[in-house]
Amino acid sequence: MANTKSIHGEWSSRFAYILAATGSAVGLGNIWKFPYITGENGGGAFVLVYLACVVAIGIPIMIAETMMGRRGRQSPINTLATLSTEANANSNWHFLGWMGVIAGMLILSYYSVIAGWANAYVFKAIFGGFSADALEVKASFDEFIASPVKLVFWHTVFMIATMSVVMRGVKSGLEKAVQLLMPTLLFLLLLLVAYAMTTGEAYFKGLSFLFSPDFSEIDGDAVLTAMGHAFFTLGLGMGAIMVYGSYLPSGVSIAKTSLYIAGADTVVALLAGIAIFPLVFANGLEPGSGPGLIFQTLPIAFGNMTGGWLFGILFFVLLVFAALTSSISLIEPVVAWLVENKGYTRVKASIVSGTATWALGVSVALSFNVWSDFTIFGKTIFNFLDYLTANLMLPIGGFCIAVFAAWIMHEKHVKEELGLPEQQYAIWKFLASYVAPASVFLVFLHVVGVF
């Protein structure tokens, strides 16, 4: 039988959990990645595909992963081992926990590099402001990412901030951090949305791009990107939601909190698009600029606008806050495992796991400059890790979580944790048993060229 309480502690309330899990979900994926992949994939049609993935795949799997976490009350690795034993299932299911923990560390290794960019741009905004000249902004960005010293330095700063929060524990570290960061993040984002509304015609052009679908832009790769991003932004398949679920008090509705979290995450992503695309169009910029979108196009917008110095600072502070609320959840699963299995203190576990992730992140930072010619399957280290995790490991992890929760666990135990009325349980069961795994499987078949 699973433990009734995690040795790491619990969230103080349902609201604390919702804030923490929403913070895990809301991050660079919403404010950095969502706008640029939407721009690369044609706008409105991609948004609809992404929303469909969140509803049909993301939410059912989030419910399943949270439920498994609360049932196991341990790190993802140990939770899968415990639940496998409880279900009289093959013990190899614990490797699913390992895959999630590894995926989280891989993501954090490059996530912290991009977060470091945001950190650097806060200071760039404070001390230098931004130029209204596109060539000057591009040259400044190119010069920045060409410097291994600068990228490694800012990556290091961000990793130290992440480790310092995690080592303080569930209530003193994770919970207190998100209680401060999440409301501030939302306030800053709403300020930027309010400013975007003053751009006149560009505001409506941005809304049209974001919400007017053109399905000719959608192909199998776009669907895979949308599905992968649904996993990435909700934090699924990487152990974060499972370990946060293990700290969830009994009696709190898993289904309701999952709906709140997915809804809040989606709203933040759409608000980011509403804030960013009008600025892009107002300045004649290209929405499909790729990963550098907010670092190469928005500084131009800030350089052109009245009060751009202040809004530039606010935006990149927002980006750092969003990144930090997610990064602490990415490293928490391995920290929990080290405490449980190696007897480490949280401080030692945070330092060991953080240092290992930092070292891998150094290679990511170098892939933008001195190691840019080194490729894995034709991709730089950054692009390879991004594709491997978001488009492969997370969907595969989500597929396996859905299968385990819906087909392997004893139904009696699942019902005990979810506490849903029969009709609502039947809806979740259908989505988790058939719709979510089938959708992931069909998209993979298309990508590998089966049809």
HEC string for 108-143: HHHHHHHHHHHHHHHHHHHHCCCCCCHHHHHHHHHH
Q: What are phi and psi of 93, to 5 degrees?
A: -60, -20
pLDDT at 53 over 60: yes
Exposure b/e, 403-437, CB count within 10 A at least 16 = b: bbbbebbeeebbeebbebeeeebeebbebbbeebb
Side-chain half-sphere exposure of 104, counting CA atoms within 13 A: 33
Amino acid at 439: S
pLDDT band at 2 (very low <50, low <70, confident <90, very high): very low
Amino acid at 348: K
Domain residue limits, the chain: 14-96+121-135+168-312+390-447
How many C-beta atoms lie closer than 10 Å to residue 198's C-beta? Answer: 12
Q: Pick the range with the lowest mean pLDDT from 38-42, 125-129, 443-447.
A: 443-447
pLDDT at 67 over 90: yes
So what's the pLDDT on residue 69? Answer: 92
Beta bridge partners of 447: none
Q: What share of the chain is helix, strand, coil (3-state, %, to 5)?
A: 80, 0, 20
pLDDT band at 235 (very low <50, low <70, confident <90, very high): confident
Give the containing element (helix H, strand E) for 298: helix 298-304
So what's the pLDDT on residue 446? Answer: 63
So what's the pLDDT on residue 34? Answer: 85
Residues 125-130 have a mean pLDDT of 80
**pLDDT tens digit string along 355-372?**
999 999 999 999 999 999
Q: Pick the range with the lowest mean pLDDT from 8-12, 30-34, 89-93.
A: 8-12
pLDDT, mean over the chain: 86
Read off the tokens for 35: 């706008």
So what's the pLDDT on residue 324? Answer: 87
Residues 173-179 have a mean pLDDT of 72
Residue 191's Cα: distance from chain center in Å? 22
**pLDDT tens digit string along 272-315?**
889 888 878 887 777 776 677 778 777 877 787 777 788 888 88
Cβ neighbors of 366 (< 8 A, separation 6 or more) are 148, 151, 152, 381
pLDDT at 121 over 70: yes
Alpha helices in 41-133 (DSSP H): 44-53, 59-72, 76-86, 94-127
pTM to 2 decimal places? 0.89
So what's the pLDDT on residue 41? Answer: 86
Residues 178-204 have a mean pLDDT of 82
Residue 344 DSSP one-character state: -
Residue 379, SS3?
strand
Bigger pLDDT: 155 vs 6: 155
Q: Between helices 308-342 and 346-366, what is the axis angle to 10°?
A: 130
Q: Between helices 254-282 and 220-234, what is the axis angle to 10°?
A: 120
pLDDT at 171 over 70: no
